[in-house]
């Protein structure tokens, strides 16, 4: 991952390939947001802005030759939009601007960032945004699998993330600022790890190899233990949801527990993640168009794994267990059928009306197991419903559950810069998932589909403190990048889950 340091160097003298400076929209045009660049240079840049097409809008990035007054080769202008009424910029605005800039710096070795960074919150936002934007998934590009035979042209065309970043700040020696920057690096690494898993091809990432990836991620991380239940153990142990969903594939399901247990925990939290490593829909098969994005149907499990590992690296004083519910949903000869009845771990039965509503079925096993293990609160995160995308679009996730926990998740999301919106679980909709032959049906009418799925999960948690995070749309960006978000896997949910855990740890 890109390395980052805090520095007090003057932007005019810093030696790097690129210097990132912020622009803002004003009533008079464009302002360069810097108190360190010479006045004559600021005036020149602001006068040239209209000719360069610079407006200062959010997510706008322009790269221009730096000129003789700077020691760098490239000047990068990244937009912040308009100032708040108090003349400042929100931390999420700084995070996005830093990330939008570093996304455009792939292929460079070094860059310096001269965005506002005069307190701990600003340093956290700029550092985190810069690292989140400095992400490229190159695993399957031939030129990136370097060998001695690679041609010079291939090596030149290889575009890795910018290698080193200096964050220019007067607080470069401040102890709290250093801690903030170090935390940002842990958070960004966790998000990158989740993105990598989501972007991995499904012929390489399936339940058994995902379990191996969990072991690798936890290796040498203090107080973290990984336990794997394979398909035979799941069947004999009564995990009927995972067994049923996975039985259509030649690659059997897994339940992976990633447990972080510090010496003196002052609370227990469970994180349950949906890990459908590829979702064809099963017998209720999906349309071919867009099915390739269904490699991302394990984004919830990826977020959970990355969060637990990051929490351990941050030494949070909580016992945190992640439950990765892993299966491949395929229409094989042994696949589950509509009308099958499945017995979930713990004994409740589910009538399968739609095999493409499989995520909630595997999650039921994980939720019951998590509650049985005696956690204070349970969060689950899943790319669960297309209805979430219909309701909230591709950038805003949903959260529902018991009121207090739901609101706690929303507060954590707001604080960390992720978009979540609270949704209800109306009592009157429970008839939508009523089964004629079993305790509950896995599918209901189209209307209120996201809420129906939440109510289904609620069946398996009862009154236990719980929240359900539906990240179906935001988990995978099938368009162009924006802000610090790349195309492909986004790593959504990691920052919110970590923020939730840190809030719990601070409250204890």
Q: Which residues pair with 476 in a beta bridge?
A: 489
Measured CA to CA, the distance from residue 278 to residue 155 in angstroms comes to: 33
For residue 274 the two structure tokens come to 């949906």
Q: Which two tokens stand for residue 270?
A: 């469970």
DSSP β-bridge partners for residue 229: 255
Whole-angstrom Cα distance, residue 351 to residue 365? 15
What is the rounded CA–CA span in Å between residue 12 and residue 296?
43
User: 375 exposed, middle or buried (CB, 10 Å; 0-12, 13-18, 19+)?
Assistant: buried
Catalytic residue among 58, 360, 495, 504: 360
**Known active-site residue 257:** no
| Cβ-based burial of 149 (10 A; exposed 0-12, middle 13-18, buried ≥19) | exposed
CA–CA dist 134, 434 (Å, integer): 47
What token pair was written down for 112? 């310096």
Question: Parallel, antiparallel, or unpaired for β 466-470 and 377-382?
Answer: parallel
Q: What is the helix (H) or strand (E) element at residue 182, kind and residue range?
A: helix 175-199
- Phi/psi of residue 470, nearest 5 degrees: -100, 110
Clarify whether 286 is annotated catalytic: yes
User: Among the options 286, 348, 395, 430, which is catalytic?
Assistant: 286
The dihedral formed by the CA atoms of 428, 429, 435 and 438, expressed in degrees to the nearest 10: -80
DSSP secondary structure of 362-402: HHHHHHHHHHHTT-SEEEEEE---HHHHHHH-SS-EEEEES
Active site residues: 286, 360
């Amino acid at each position: 991952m890109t390395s980052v340091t805090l520095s007090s160097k003057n932007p005019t003298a810093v030696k790097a390939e690129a210097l990132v400076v912020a622009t803002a929209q004003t009533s008079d045009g464009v302002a360069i947001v810097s108190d360190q660049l010479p006045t004559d240079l600021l005036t020149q840049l602001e006068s040239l802005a209209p000719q360069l097409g610079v407006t200062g809008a959010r997510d706008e990035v322009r790269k221009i030759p730096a000129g003789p007054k700077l020691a760098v080769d490239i000047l990068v202008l990244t937009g912040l939009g308009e100032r708040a009424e108090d003349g400042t910029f929100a931390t999420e605005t700084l995070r996005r601007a830093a990330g939008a800039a570093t996304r455009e710096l792939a292929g460079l070795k070094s860059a310096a960032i001269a965005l506002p960074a005069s307190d701990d919150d600003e340093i956290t936002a700029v550092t985190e945004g810069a690292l989140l934007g400095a992400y490229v998934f190159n695993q399957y590009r031939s030129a990136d699998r370097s060998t001695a035979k690679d041609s010079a042209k291939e090596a030149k065309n290889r575009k890795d993330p910018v290698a080193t970043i200096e964050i220019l700040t007067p607080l470069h020696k401040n102890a709290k600022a250093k801690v903030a920057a170090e935390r940002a690096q842990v958070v960004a690494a966790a998000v990158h790890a989740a993105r990598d898993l989501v972007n991995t091809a499904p012929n390489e990432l399936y339940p058994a190899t995902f379990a191996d990836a969990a072991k690798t991620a936890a290796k040498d991380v203090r107080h973290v233990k990984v336990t794997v239940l394979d398909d035979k153990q799941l069947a004999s142990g009564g995990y009927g949801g995972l067994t049923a969903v996975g039985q259509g594939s030649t690659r059997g399901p897994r339940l992976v527990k990633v447990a972080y247990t510090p010496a003196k925990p002052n609370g227990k939290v469970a994180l349950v993640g949906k890990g459908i490593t590829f979702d064809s829909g099963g017998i209720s098969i999906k349309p071919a168009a867009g099915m390739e994005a269904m490699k991302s149907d394990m984004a919830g499990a990826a977020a959970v794994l990355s969060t637990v590992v990051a929490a351990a690296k941050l030494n949070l004083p909580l016992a945190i267990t992640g439950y990765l519910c892993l299966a491949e949903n395929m229409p094989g000869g042994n696949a589950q059928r509509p009308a099958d009845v499945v017995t979930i771990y713990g004994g409740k039965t589910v009538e399968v009306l739609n095999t493409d509503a499989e995520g909630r079925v595997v999650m039921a096993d994980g939720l019951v197991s998590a509650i049985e293990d005696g956690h204070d609160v349970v969060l689950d995160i899943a790319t669960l419903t297309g209805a979430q995308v219909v309701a909230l679009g591709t950038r805003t996730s949903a959260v529902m559950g018991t009121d207090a926990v739901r609101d706690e998740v929303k507060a954590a999301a707001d604080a960390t810069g992720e978009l979540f919106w609270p949704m209800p679980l109306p009592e009157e909709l429970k008839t939508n998932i009523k089964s004629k032959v079993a305790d509950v049906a896995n599918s209901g009418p189209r209307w209120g589909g996201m809420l129906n799925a939440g109510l289904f999960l609620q069946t398996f948690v009862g009154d236990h403190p719980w929240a359900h995070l539906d990240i179906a749309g935001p988990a995978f960006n099938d368009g162009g990048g924006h802000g610090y978000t790349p195309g492909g896997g986004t790593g959504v949910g990691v920052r919110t889950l970590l923020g939730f855990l840190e809030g719990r740890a601070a409250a204890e």
